[in-house]
Amino acid sequence: MVVLKTVQEIEKMKLAGKISARALKLAGEMVEPGISTEKIDEAVSKYIKSQGAASSTLGYSGFPKSCCISVNNQIIHGIPSNSCILKSGDIVSIDISANIGGYHGDNAYTFACGDISENARKLINATKESLQKAISVAKVGNRLGDVGNTVEEYVKERGYSVVRDFVGHGVGTSLHEDPSVPNYGKPGHGLRLREGMTIAIEPMVNEGTSEFITLDDGWTIITADKKLSAHFEHTVAITSSGPLILTDPT
Ligand code: MG
């Protein structure tokens, strides 16, 4: 069931979004050669707590950390650890969700560590742009198929594939609510967007195949061909005056 939010509820979600976005910004500023993903997670955890909020990923179905950090061929759900030391050339997808006052925010960004290859840069830029394009069509009256198709077409034109088995989602009093928000679809098809819907749009874009493998840790999702993957996400409210990004750090 899709839960529509009131203007007052969206105001509460702005705070959860802001804390999630500021934590993500802080995490991104720490990305540099030689740091462990554990260290970044520790800082994220500390920051979220300092704001009176809680990480939505910590303990989610048993997930052990306060954020997901997925490096290079890891698509999503990478577990921060002391043994994962970043090096120059890595691309680092960090996904952070925080909740406060009963509402969640959810956002992700792929950061460059040191000097990255031209191919990696292009993948990151295309993924980031596909999210911006998708947000721009997340308007009252359009459909989820318009949003998903926008991502899919944009990245396919550049030779990439979208992950189909993992999708965006509604966000609100739960981290994951209806509806599912796929990164593919047919224009003019799917659920019609209505005022008060709050959704996480999150393109996961692969350099090669869209197929994936789950690592033995039970969480980390990697590309089946070991090529790179990038991930960007915002929590967006559908309002009468257009899409409103709730995961805004400012
Ligand atoms: Mg999400």
What does the alpha-carbon distance between residue 178 and residue 200 come to, in Å, rounded to a whole number?
10
Instruction: Say how many Å lie between the CA of residue 135 and the centre of ligand 1.
Output: 14
Cβ neighbors of 10 (< 8 A, separation 6 or more) are 196, 198, 237, 239, 244, 246
Instruction: Say how many Å lie between the CA of residue 235 and the centre of ligand 1.
Output: 8
Helix, coil or strand: residue 190: coil
What does the alpha-carbon distance between residue 170 and residue 41 come to, in Å, rounded to a whole number?
25
Q: What is the pLDDT of residue 202?
A: 98
CA distances from 220 to 29, 112, 227 (A): 23, 20, 15
DSSP line for 23-66: HHHHHHHH--TT-BHHHHHHHHHHHHHHTT-EESSTTGGG--SS
Instruction: Say how many Å lie between the CA of residue 166 and the centre of ligand 1.
Output: 9
Whether the ω angle into residue 179 lies within 30 degrees of 0, i.e. cis, is yes
Inter-residue contact 91 to 112 (CB < 8 Å): yes
State the chain's mean pLDDT as an integer: 98
pLDDT digits (tens, 9 = 90+) for 193-249: 999 999 999 999 999 999 999 999 999 999 999 999 999 999 999 999 999 999 999
Helix, coil or strand: residue 203: coil
Instruction: Say how many Å lie between the CA of residue 234 and the centre of ligand 1.
Output: 8
Instruction: Say how many Å lie between the CA of residue 88 and the centre of ligand 1.
Output: 27
Q: Which residues of the chain have pLDDT under 70?
A: none
Residues with CB under 5 A from ligand 1 (ion): 106, 200, 202
HSE (side-chain half, CA atoms, 13 Å) at 3: 15
Q: What is the pLDDT of residue 247?
A: 98
Domains of the chain, CATH where assigned: 7-245 (3.90.230.10)
Q: What is the pLDDT of residue 75?
A: 98
Instruction: Say how many Å lie between the CA of residue 134 and the centre of ligand 1.
Output: 15
- Residue corresponding to tokens 């318009």: 146
Q: What is the pLDDT of residue 199?
A: 98
Q: What is the pLDDT of residue 122?
A: 98
Backbone angles phi, psi at 155, to 5 degrees: -80, -30
pTM across the whole model:
0.98
The DSSP letter of residue 68 is E
Instruction: Say how many Å lie between the CA of residue 209 and the centre of ligand 1.
Output: 21
Q: What is the pLDDT of residue 21?
A: 98
